[in-house]
Amino acid sequence: MLAALADGCSRITGFLEGEDTRASARAFAHMGVRIDAPRAGERIVHGVGLHGLLAPGVPIDCGNAGTGMRLLTGLLAGQGFDATLAGDESLSRRPMRRVIEPLTRMGARIESNGGLPPLQIRGGRALHAISYALPVASAQVKSAILFAGLYANGETHVCEPHPTRDYTERMLAAFGWPVEFGEGWVKLRGGQHLRATDIDVPADFSSAAFFIVAATLLPGSEIVLRDVGTNPRRTGLLLALRAMGADIRESNPRARGGEPVADLVVRHARLRGIDVPEELVPDMIDEFPILFIAAAAAQGTTRVSGAAELRVKESDRIAVMANGLRALGARIEETPGGAVIEGGQFAGGEVDSASDHRCAMSFAVAGAIARAPVRIVDCANVATSFPGFMQLANSSGFELAATPG
């Protein structure tokens, strides 16, 4: 997104060939941005400058990408043209009012289906900066406000109840936009310029998480995951797993694409249940489905609280994971903001991933340690974030197979 708005040509390596990232690329192609793909995992983005986007001739389809829709809403609020953002059935159920409200305060005009997609963003609005305290910690909402702030008069200031991922702040700095940020706050002034730069994207921690937990749970396992992003605003799961007794070592720490990275060496270890500290929740919000699997295989009780955000992800992840784990013989009690999980062993059975990619991959890890086969239904959306998951998992020792229907 920032490369598209920059002056000049940016090269991105380590590009994820997933449906979400491709949907974002298609969105900018509809707005006149040329994006070349010389090879898999690489993109060359010919930036058009902050005010160079063109009106899309069709509604922009964000697919399943909630991050893409929310960030695009902030970006489009400052354009001179109207645009419509739509998504698939799952995305059409995800709440957007949390983005609409602060952007409206900045002067944007956004119409929705009762706070749900599709969204109609009216162009030609003069935006003004605001100081906004997020009621719920959300890197997506923060980033949407910052994108609108690029076009706003004055200084936009966002405060968070808990620090969230700072990828947008770091990336803005990498593209030359003056931005100040720290633990739980960020501010920038509109009317600057983005300069094209080359970005080398680290390996994704959320994708690595499935293999971290699988290696931890399967006796005799030892794996090395290379070049994994270890931004502390993303790796709360590492702290939680280590508190449970996991054997995870970071080696060769360095920087890549302006982000801290390391190789992760993971060995099998026996886990014990814990009360997950609430301060870790924002730093592991996407990793809770796989944490539920680890907790259900641990010795003792694990308690999760303060994670109500899980109920408005691609699915109600608390309910989906609870229903699936019960189908596999685990004991789990839902709470409004989490769950109480009793550790034990997995039986076989059928689970419904509710078209949620992270739940589907988490149940695949459960299947690797279950006493009998596990059948996972409604899992086509794995390709949104992790194309090639099945092939990579099987090359690592899983036994996954696609079945008709």
Q: What digits encode the pLDDT tens for the residues 343-376?
A: 999 999 999 999 999 999 999 999 999 999 999 9
Q: 313 with 356: CB under 8 angstroms?
A: yes
Q: Is residue 9 part of a domain?
A: yes
User: Quick one: 176 and 313 in the same domain?
Assistant: no
Q: Is residue 294 part of a domain?
A: yes
User: Quick one: 176 and 241 in the same domain?
Assistant: no
Percent of the chain with pLDDT strictly greater than 90: 87
Q: Is residue 401 part of a domain?
A: no
pLDDT band at 316 (very low <50, low <70, confident <90, very high): very high
Phi-psi region of 365 (alpha: psi -120 to 50; beta: other; left: phi over 0): alpha
Mean pLDDT of 183-205: 95
pLDDT band at 112 (very low <50, low <70, confident <90, very high): very high
How many separate helices (H) and strands (E) can be counted in the chain?
A: 12, 20
User: Quick one: 250 and 345 in the same domain?
Assistant: yes
Structure tokens at 319: 């309910």
User: Quick one: 225 and 103 in the same domain?
Assistant: no
User: Quick one: 54 and 142 in the same domain?
Assistant: yes
Mean pLDDT of the chain: 95
User: Quick one: 146 and 17 in the same domain?
Assistant: yes
Give percent helix, percent strand, percent coil of the chain, each to the nearest 5: 35, 25, 40
Q: Is residue 403 part of a domain?
A: no
* From 286, 316, 356, 378, the catalytic residue: 286
Over the stretch 12-68, which tens digit does the pLDDT of each residue have? 999 999 889 999 999 999 999 999 999 999 999 999 999 999 999 899 999 989 999
Question: Pick from 303, 307, 316, 398: which is nearest to 359 by CA?
Answer: 316
Phi-psi region of 213 (alpha: psi -120 to 50; beta: other; left: phi over 0): alpha
User: Quick one: 196 and 279 in the same domain?
Assistant: no
User: Quick one: 109 and 188 in the same domain?
Assistant: yes
Q: Is residue 400 part of a domain?
A: no
Rounded to an integer, what distance in angstroms lies between the CA atom of residue 267 and that of residue 369? Answer: 15
User: Quick one: 182 and 237 in the same domain?
Assistant: no
Rounded to an integer, what distance in angstroms lies between the CA atom of residue 352 and that of residue 393? Answer: 20
Structure tokens at 144: 């949407």
Q: Is residue 88 part of a domain?
A: yes
Report CA 9 to chain centroid distance, whole Å.
26
User: Quick one: 238 and 169 in the same domain?
Assistant: no
Question: Quick one: pLDDT at residue 62?
Answer: 95
Q: Which of 165, 200, 235 is the last residue of a domain?
A: 200
Rounded to an integer, what distance in angstroms lies between the CA atom of residue 389 and that of residue 404? Answer: 18
Question: Quick one: pLDDT at residue 405?
Answer: 59
Cβ atoms < 10 Å from Cβ of 39: 8
Rounded to an integer, what distance in angstroms lies between the CA atom of residue 314 and that of residue 222? Answer: 31
Nearest 10 degrees: Cα torsion 102, 304, 232, 203: -100
| Domain range enclosing 43 | 2-200
Q: Are strands 338-342 and 301-304 parallel, antiparallel or unpaired?
A: antiparallel
Q: Which of 200, 228, 252 is the last residue of a domain?
A: 200
Mean pLDDT of 328-336: 96
Rounded to an integer, what distance in angstroms lies between the CA atom of residue 37 and that of residue 16? Answer: 12
Q: 259 with 229: CB under 8 angstroms?
A: yes
Torsional sign, CA 24, 25, 30, 34: positive
Rounded to an integer, what distance in angstroms lies between the CA atom of residue 274 and that of residue 255? Answer: 32
User: Quick one: 285 and 169 in the same domain?
Assistant: no
Cβ atoms < 10 Å from Cβ of 183: 9
The residue written with tokens 């680890």 in the block is 294
Question: Quick one: pLDDT at residue 312?
Answer: 80
Over the stretch 240-277, which tens digit does the pLDDT of each residue have? 999 999 999 999 999 887 789 999 999 999 999 999 99
Q: Which of 200, 215, 242 is the last residue of a domain?
A: 200
User: Quick one: 180 and 55 in the same domain?
Assistant: yes
* Number of separate domains in the chain: 2
Q: Is residue 132 part of a domain?
A: yes
Catalytic site includes residue 227: no
